[in-house]
Amino acid sequence: MGLDFWSWQLIFAAILNLVLQTLTIGAYAARLAGVQTLRVATSISLFNLVVTASRVANMFYSPMLGSISDHASKFASKYPALAPATVHHYDLQIRLIIFAGTIGTTLGALLLPTFLHLFRRGIAVFERLGSVPRALLRFGDFGVLFAIAATVRTPNPKNWRRFRMSHVPVKLIVANVVVTAIYAVGVVAAAYASLINPASARTALLASGLVNGIATISFTLIVDPTSAFYTDQAVRGERPVEEVKSLVFYLSLSAIVGTLVSQLILFPSAEFIGWGASLINR
């Protein structure tokens, strides 16, 4: 008698979170591609396309978390004496999913040169075809896929010393750590709250949209405008391109730190969401 740790829902959620975080970090390269090609508006459009695609994929990620929570909740209800062990078991599952996001964030950072190449190529293809859907259909060509695979590269550690912290506002880096941590923990903390506070489970689950909304708004108000400002200055020649590279590097690094911080705030966030759900249900 026991609750299985591994399930297809857990594996799918972990893999999907890894891919989502990889794409999110890879989208940072759009800023640099805009500077190098002098096509800022087009690069921002492609950036928004990638981010929107990751948000849409998140709709498949959330139900997997809900399914894992339902299995744990049913088991705890059936065997009350094993409830503490069930919560611990569930805690490990959730942390594994978050850690998969950390791996994805790291992978996205390591593949930034590849993403940069893809964005530059995407801008050129879009200008030639004049249509994003037609440009995306190019991915159905095996020749294009092989060409993309051939361009896969990782950053050269020797070049990392060129990325100076003095080129990037400390407040921006701290803000990105906080925003990333909140976004990484939002959905999973709400699912966690639904398990530890069964009386307000549905309210807690639906609160995930509010938590992620706050993180998204914070990113839009704080992180994104500063990145856009750096990009515009570089295009006008008022700021060296190297500073934009430093910006992308430290945003990626701070995002990795943010996913690690999310592990620390997972349980407090779940308790806070559960407390808020209880207040709403009074």
Q: What is the pLDDT of residues 29-80, one digit of tens each?
A: 888 888 888 777 777 777 777 777 776 776 777 788 888 888 888 887 887 7
Query: Which runs of consecutive H residues, i.e. helices, occur in the chain?
Result: 8-26, 29-37, 40-78, 83-110, 112-129, 132-137, 142-150, 170-196, 201-206, 208-218, 224-235, 241-280
Backbone angles phi, psi at 156, to 5 degrees: -85, 115
Query: Quick one: what percent of the chain has pLDDT higher than 90?
Result: 16
Q: What type of residue sits at position 234? A: A
3-state secondary structure of 180: helix
**Cα 190 from Cα 119, distance rounded (Å):** 34
Sorted by where each begins, the domain ranges of the chain are: 8-280
Residue 2 in this model has a pLDDT that exceeds 60: no
Tokens read off for 257: 């730190």
pLDDT of residue 114: 86
| Banded pLDDT at 1 (limits 50, 70, 90) | very low
**Cα 80 from Cα 159, distance rounded (Å):** 56
Which of 113-117, 173-177, 190-194, 232-236 is most confident? 173-177
Using alpha carbons, list the distances in angstroms from residue 150 to 30, 117, 118, 145.
20, 11, 12, 9
Q: What is the pLDDT of residues 112-150, one digit of tens each?
A: 888 888 888 878 777 777 676 776 666 666 766 677 677
